Amino acid sequence: MPFETKATITSFGGKLFKLSHPSSTTTTPMAVNLYLPPSALSSSTTPVPLLIYLSGLTCTPENCSEKGFFQHRASQLGLAILYPDTSPRGLNYPGETDSWDFGAGAGFYINATQSPWNVGYKMQDYITHELPQVLFSDPEYGKYIDSSRVSITGHSMGGHGALTLYLKNKGTYKSVSAFAPICNPSNCPWGQKAFSGYLGADNKEEWKKNDATELIKSQEWKGEKDARILVDVGTADGFYEKGQLLPEKFEEAVKEAGVGGVKVRYQEGYDHSYYFMASFADEHVEWAAKNLGLL
């Protein structure tokens, strides 16, 4: 089914489209925003590459579209941005809306294995399979996108989502970047709560398959010299201070696996918010653009 266009908003010379489509993966309607830069919309040009942005806990497609400021540099460089939602909505599973860090708004970009979540909470399949297929084949929007040039990025839960989907699907995305990602969910409260609910408290092997710090040590990545991973963490991030992000664990794993081409940067004084995100948005868009052949 093609996208239904709910709104069109001019932004940095391009257009932000607020879209919706019925998803067979989540069994619900899904909201998604798409930004097309001016170069994509001018009739004389060829399709543009795509950056997928995965948002954090509690977010919808709106948070980053409104205050992430990705559109600023994406407009100049000729990059499309896709802002998906963070979970299915309205399934009415028991406990789905009881807390902000589990269920609605907290899908973690994994495929749940535990009932009832294993029916609709399949955000990994949704982001890697259904959503790109719907976009690339859409009669209105598909023609603007070069489906062979896609990168991925994200914030917090979405930063981890970006890292894991990149690591699980080597070659699908040209690069990855993450803002304040949860780096080692098996060892932090947010991750332990989500993985217990979605994957089962005792299924630690399943946890490892969904944890960026474990995935980077896999056979597929061990010894990789050009991993194309950029991570930024703010040193005044309260969630970093509380041990939710654990970037040092990821850095240790990178070292242990002998992986090159990974930059983890600690940005002095920045917190977890979109003030931090927006401050480095240009650099993350440039990172993707460079790896997508635009720079």
Ligand X SMILES: N[C@@H](CCC(=O)N[C@@H](CS)C(=O)NCC(=O)O)C(=O)O
Taking the least distance from each CB to ligand X, the nearer of 122 and 272 is 272
Structure tokens at 78: 């000729």
Output the smallest distance, CB 240 to ligand X, in A: 11
> φ and ψ at 96, to 5 degrees?
-65, -30
Packed helices 70-77 and 274-291: angle between N→C axes, nearest 10 degrees: 20
Subset of 140-199 contacting ligand X (CB under 6 A): 155-157
**Contact with ligand X (CB under 6 A) among 59, 150, 216, 246:** 59
Output the smallest distance, CB 102 to ligand X, in A: 12
- Find all residues with CB under 8 Å of 53, minimum gap 6, and list them: 64, 68, 70, 81, 82, 83, 84, 153, 154, 155, 158
63 touches ligand X (CB under 6 A)? yes
**Contact with ligand X (CB under 6 A) among 56, 78, 88, 191:** 56
53 touches ligand X (CB under 6 A)? no
- Nearest by Cα to 267 from 162, 179, 161, 163: 179
Answer left, alpha or beta for residue 264, where phi above 0 means left and psi between -120 and 50 means alpha. beta
75 touches ligand X (CB under 6 A)? no
Active-site residue flag, 271: no
123 touches ligand X (CB under 6 A)? no
57 touches ligand X (CB under 6 A)? yes
Kindly provide the b/e burial profile for residues 205-237, where b requires at least 16 CB atoms within 10 angstroms of the residue's own CB: ebbeebbbbbbbbeeebeebeebbbbbbbbeeb
Contact 75, 13 (CB under 8 A): yes
99 touches ligand X (CB under 6 A)? no
Output the smallest distance, CB 77 to ligand X, in A: 24
Q: Considering CB under 6 A, how many residues would be counted as binding ligand X? A: 12
Subset of 247-276 contacting ligand X (CB under 6 A): 272-274
Active-site residue flag, 237: yes
Check 156, 160, 175, 211 and give the catalytic one.
156
| Catalytic positions | 156, 237, 272
| Interface ranges with ligand X (CB under 6 A) | 56-59, 63, 100, 155-157, 272-274
